[in-house]
Amino acid sequence: MSSTQKSLTIVPSTSNDLDSTLGYTMTVDNSSVCTVVGTGVAKTKVVPTPSASSTSVTAVGTEFVITPKVQASGNATANVTVVGNTSGATTTFTITVQQYVDTNATASV
């Protein structure tokens, strides 16, 4: 993902639609990388992690919108885990948000 990309929508599914009623729980392990909002059976909360520099974000829903945050000092990654609330099916993937580079910036001397 690019820091300037508006958002990415993820719609998880499991066989036989086992999780269509109670939905899924999505956890992003580093909230400085992106935000996540669940829709459908949506509830979003911020959960502190042992590291003082980052927090995880958890959302519940049947569809999720992930929005990158601007990364000024380099690329940033976050692990995302999705769990089916009925089936228990789990998958994990990594999101990388690329550093924002202002191409309109002017240098002064």
Report yes or no: 68 and 75 within 8 Å, Cβ to Cβ. no
Residue 45 lies in a domain: yes
In the chain, pLDDT over 90 holds for what percent of residues? 48
Asked if residue 106 is part of any domain, the answer here is no
pTM to 2 decimal places: 0.79
- For residue 107, being part of any structural domain is answered with no
- 2 belongs to a structural domain: no
Q: According to the model, what pLDDT value does residue 71 have?
A: 87
Domain membership of residue 93 as a residue range? 8-97
CA distance 62 to 42: 8
Confidence check: pLDDT of 104 > 60: yes
How many structural domains are present in the chain?
Answer: 1
3 is a domain residue: no
Domain for residue 33, yes or no?
yes
**Position 47 in a domain:** yes
Spatial separation of the C-alpha atoms in residues 104 and 107, rounded to whole Å: 10
Per-residue pLDDT tens over the stretch 22-75 = 899 999 999 999 999 998 874 555 555 455 555 888 999 999 999 999 888 889
Report yes or no on 105 lying in a domain.
no
